[in-house]
Structure 1
Amino acid sequence: MKVVIIGVGLIGGSFARDLRKVFPGAQITGADHNETHLKRAVELGLIDRPAEDLDLREADVVLLSIPVNGLLKQLSEVLDAIGEETLVMDAGSTKAEICRKVAGHERRRNFLACHPIAGTEFTGPEAAISGLFEGKTNIICEVEQTAFRIQERALELFGKMGMRIRYMNPEAHDRHIAYVSHLSHISSFMLGKTVIEKERNERDIFDLAGSGFESTVRLAKSSPAMWTPIFEQNRKNVLETLDEYIGNLQGFRQLLDSGDYKGVFREMEETNRIGEILNGIPTQKN
């Protein structure tokens, strides 16, 4: 199997690690706008060598794991350069605009729009880890637009990596992911900003921050270069989620301001149900 990975950071590098496990003989080449990352990916054994133009034409699989603004620019160019039977897939956190971008491309049938729900707050080749995709959900959009035999190749690969598959249309994907991912990152960034601005003494932050703060602000270490284009492409949905989130914060503030501690308790108690939802326990309806 010949594979080209465009973007050899956390997702691309982890994909390469897992790919070598399930297809030990795979020939993996890579491309990255950061030459240091590309060199490091070779040193770490994530890829065999930097990719050349001919590698795209001969590739069985091409993965684009780059920021979504880069996807809008490069996806069509990649589809122009591939062979007739090449599977091209992405790992972007937005789907609607990307799918619209290639809707009329003559090789749209070669592209599978994907979003593996996997990752950490770290970036670069050193962030790549084995088993990142095991047990994770991979959302596939517009599967009917991809040639069936190419779909089969992708599903075999995902199955060997232990991924769960969920099918969704691009608009629904972007709407739902705004709540469960994009809003989480904004909340983390703004919590970090609030603490930095209020607590000017960094030693106080270090000494007083507990595990709760650390886990809540973890996502604030994520790359702005990756997340700004995501917020741009999913602006409408993100604004809607922000309005609802801000409304809830204002409501909680009002409870505190009025001394309604029973209301505070009730708000938190009702929200405890999120633990059952995340653990897959069916919600009991009265």
Structure 2
Amino acid sequence: MKVFIVGIGLIGGSFALDLKAGIPGISIAGIDGNEDHLKQALELGLIDRMSTMEDIHDADLVYLAIPVDASIKVLPEVLDRVKDDCVVIDAGSTKENICRVVEDHAKRRNFLAAHPIAGTEFSGPQAAIHGLFRNKTNIICEVEKTAFKLQEKALEVFQKIGMRIRYMDARSHDRHIAYVSHLSHISSFMLGKTVLEKEKNERDIFDLAGSGFASTVRLAKSSPAMWAPIFSQNKKNVLETLNEYILNLQHFRKLMQEDNFDQLYQEMDRTNHIKEVLNGINKNEELKLQENGK
């Protein structure tokens, strides 16, 4: 199988590593606007050769792992160039706009809209991790618009790298992901900004920061080049979640101003229910893995 990966960073590079481990004899070509990334990817063994869009007609599978605003521009060009039995998959964190931009494309049947719920706060080819996708959920949107044989090809690849599949419509995906992913990143970025602005002496930050601060601000190390386009593409849903979040922050502040710490305790105690929710989700996932292993 000839695979072309457009964007050799954390996601594209990790996808390449897992493909190499799971599919013997696979050939992976890399395309990236950053030539240094391509050279690094080649040196790290993520790809077998550097390539360009002119060669993409030879691909059996194309994986787009670039910022969502770039994907919207690049995807139609990729579909123009690929052969009829090539499946084109994107890995973007927003789905509604990218599905809309190719809804009338002559080769819409070649495209599979996907979002792997996997990643770290790091970027670039050197951030690639073998096994990043194993046991992770891969959300697929508008699957019915992809040719059945190409669906099968993509699902076989996902199965070999150990991903779980969930189907969702694009609009629901973008609304839900705004809560569980996009809002988390905004919170982390703004916490980091607040601390940096308040603590002019950076040594104090490092001396006083504990594991709670480190884990909460971890996402603020994520690439702005990737996240600014995500917020732009999912603006409506992100603003809605931000409004709700801000109302909760304002309510929390009001309770403190009024010395209503009994109510504050009750708010936090009710929120502790998230432990049960997350534990339930984890147990369900473990059961699914056990069933799949039988």
Question: What interval of TM-score do these two structures reach, taking the shorter chain for normalisation?
Answer: over 0.9
Partner of 2:179: 179
Aligned pairs (5 A) from 1:120-199: 120-199=120-199
CA contact (8 A) 2:99 2:170 kept: yes
Q: Which amino acid aligns with 2:232?
A: E
Matched letter for residue 19 of structure 1: L
Structure 2: distance between partners of 1:238 and 1:114:
20
The question of whether the paired residues in 1 share the 8 Å contact of 2:23 and 2:160 is answered with no
Corresponding residue for 1:279? 279
| Equivalent residue letter for 2:83 | G
Task: Give 1:234 shift.
Answer: 0.4
1:247 aligns with 2:247: yes
Deviation sequence 1:11-43 (CA, Å, 0-9, x none): 000000000011121000001111111100000
Worse overlay, 273-282 or 91-100:
273-282
Q: Secondary structure at the match of 1:71?
A: helix
Which moves more between the two structures, 114-123 or 47-56?
Answer: 47-56
Q: Give structure 1 stretches of 5+ with no counterpart.
A: none
SS of aligned partner of 1:247: helix
- The structural deviation recorded for 1:53 is 4.3
Query: 1:67 maps to which residue?
Result: 67
Aligned-partner Cα distance in 2 for 1:52–1:195: 43
Q: Distance in 1 between matches of 2:115 and 2:281?
A: 24
* Counterpart residue identity of residue 171, structure 1: R
Once residues 161 and 255 of structure 2 are traced to their aligned partners in structure 1, the CA distance between those partners, rounded to angstroms, is 47
Shift in Å at residue 84 of structure 1?
A: 0.7
Cα distance in structure 1, aligned partners of 2:251 and 2:36: 48
The alignment status of 1:83 with 2:83, answered yes or no, reads: yes
Does the 8 Å CA contact 1:2/1:27 hold for their aligned counterparts? yes
Tell me by how many angstroms 1:54 deviates: 5.3
**1:117 equivalent in structure 2:** 117
1:222 aligns with 2:222: yes
When the two structures are aligned, how many residues end up with a matched partner?
Answer: 282
**RMSD between aligned alpha carbons?**
1.1
User: 2:262 maps to what in 1?
Assistant: 262
Structure 1 position 281, deviation (Å): 5.2
2:2 equivalent in structure 1? 2
Aligned residue in 1 for 2:22: 22
Write the distance in 2 (CA, Å) between the matches of 1:115 and 1:279: 23
Aligned to 1:203: 203
Checking the alignment, whether the CA contact within 8 Å between 1:4 and 1:55 is kept in structure 2 is no
TM-score between both structures, scaled by the size of structure 1: 0.97
Cα distance in 1 for partners of 2:278, 2:88 equals: 32
**Cα distance between partner residues in 1 of 2:113 and 2:52:** 24
Residues 53 and 78, structure 2, Cα contact 8 Å, conserved in 1: no
Taking the TM superposition and a 5 Å limit, the aligned residue runs for 1:43-62 are 43-53=43-53, 55-62=55-62
Q: How big is each residue's C-alpha offset from its partner over 1:187-214, in whole Å with a ceiling of 9 and x where there is no partner?
A: 0000000000111000000100000000
Which stretches in structure 2 are left out of the alignment for 5+ residues? 283-294
Whether the 8 Å CA contact 1:6–1:30 is kept in 2: the answer is yes
Contact 1:88-1:110 within 8 A present in 2 as well: yes
Report SS of the residue matched to 2:120.
coil
